Structure 1
């Protein structure tokens, strides 16, 4: 068997989070380091991000947010199960805890997801071609069913299934992150039959948990790609564009390039988080547009693309 060629969607998450993030993401796209973005419609610089995507012809999807900032659905902004006493979402772990305790209304989750798609359409002029969840909320129990229903109803074809090959053998992640990612993986695996039932699609391979922030390096990315190549395509797919009989692996690499947020500028209503203000974003930006990484893609037969190209 010849080595599979790869169609790789490199998605810059959290587009719209702040002007510094927007600037870094656009520069990264222009340098060939990312091929796709995921927009937070409730973030403070979402309108600017949507305009930048139009101006630079950047393929854009929706980063559905149920955990950070405020809802976009007005009826949910004060008295709803999705927000705390201050009108903000419960947070990455708070959302999960409220869900475990049975305190979240799935009807309200659906209302908010549909409102975010509507706002995405207002900002961009089109429906998202893919939709995933900020902080992986879309694969959580109960939420995944509502999420899949919304995607199916609106004919949004692609999502993200964060099951990363090589996660279990990763030695550089701190214990608390490893535990969180293992739970994300379990939730994602449990989502697969739900997404299949609704006809939702996703790439063969997901990458990005082991290469976030300071853990992103050309060596670690090369390692992640080798895991993806070893897995091969999920079923026999062919590159019809080139007329080749070579099997094609489809993959998504989740990344977070940008410049550090100013402390008073950014976020989704509560200000930017620590990760956004750290040097990690700029580190990712530097690695992703490093000429030696782009050369590695070429050498390995990796072609960057958007979800709409799969």
Structure 2
């Protein structure tokens, strides 16, 4: 086996979304496909997910959610964070409200702290890492509140979604490419804020170019090659996080965070990711490239 070139945290997002998502993520962890999970504490199957994490000793962090479903904080059912139905504004709706100055950042902080408390109630531990569902944690204004909460609660690791080689992916449709480009700009602007609060994140990030149907052993090899190209030959192994969403398709009306499962969750793309992540060909690729899968706690040294 070649010398280790990369420590790769493979994070399965949306743990707790539904029972079928939980099942797929646990299977993927037990087979070695993922190394950690991010929990949606307002997910309909969050209690089951927390119990499964305990049973199988799965490293677990918090997938902070400000955009889908219902708030965890009991005082925010009528607030700037929700619409007339009492639901978060959605991935793009949250961004529009933020741009218009319609969101109260004090309420954002209240909800983030409530989600950490709920995480501790469910799991019996502090999050090993904390990132944002649909990348809301890197948005202007939100990023500062988010960093303050992580600093106050001694949560060391977060996510900075800037992926090398993303702009040379012709298979990503223009609307999604535009969204990813904005996520990248917001993430780059978050780095000074996260640095100010002494937060940590891996050296490289992967996962936007390999989501859903775009995931394959060859697309993962491409993403890894782009990340490894920045490594110094004489330097220590690069650290990286690969964001993934394996599972089984949600059944209609089952799951979600308070308003049922979305289209991506009901599609076969989740199961496709599960198949790729447990493909022996991926293990062979990682061995050839000198990539060792690990969890965030292994990056503490």
Instruction: Provide TM-score, normalisation by structure 2.
Output: 0.97
Q: Distance in 2 between matches of 1:171 and 1:247?
A: 32
Tell me how many residue pairs correspond in the alignment. 298
Q: Distance in 2 between matches of 1:214 and 1:153?
A: 39
Q: 2:244 aligns with which of 255, 273, 277?
A: 255
Q: 1:281 aligns with which of 270, 279, 283?
A: 270
Q: Distance in 1 between matches of 2:163 and 2:229?
A: 13
1:102-147, Cα deviation, whole Å (9 max, x unpaired): 0000000000000000000000001101000000000000000000
- Do structure 1's residue 294 and structure 2's residue 293 form an aligned pair? no
Tell which deviates more after alignment, 293-302 or 282-291.
293-302
Q: Is the 8 A contact 1:16 1:41 kept in 2?
A: yes
Tell me, what secondary structure is at the counterpart of 1:160? Answer: coil
Map of 2:10 onto structure 1: 10
Per the TM alignment, residue 4 of structure 1 is displaced from its structure 2 partner at its CA by 6.0
Map of 2:188 onto structure 1: 189
Q: Is the 8 A contact 1:35 1:58 kept in 2?
A: yes
Q: Is the 8 A contact 1:3 1:229 kept in 2?
A: no
Tell me, what secondary structure is at the counterpart of 1:168? Answer: helix
Task: List 4+ stretches of structure 1 deviating above 3 A.
Answer: none
Q: 1:268 aligns with which of 253, 257, 261?
A: 257
* Root mean square deviation of aligned Cα: 1.3
Map of 2:26 onto structure 1: 26
**After the TM superposition, which residues 145-184 of structure 1 pair with which residues of structure 2 at under 5 Å, given as runs?**
145-184=144-183
Q: Is the 8 A contact 2:81 2:103 kept in 1?
A: yes
Q: Is the 8 A contact 1:68 1:92 kept in 2?
A: yes
Q: Distance in 2 between matches of 1:175 and 1:186?
A: 16
Q: Is the 8 A contact 2:4 2:292 kept in 1?
A: no
Instruction: Provide TM-score, normalisation by structure 1.
Output: 0.94
Map of 2:40 onto structure 1: 40
Q: Is the 8 A contact 1:5 1:246 kept in 2?
A: no
1:206-255, Cα deviation, whole Å (9 max, x unpaired): 0000000000000000000001110116xx9xxxxxxxx86210000000
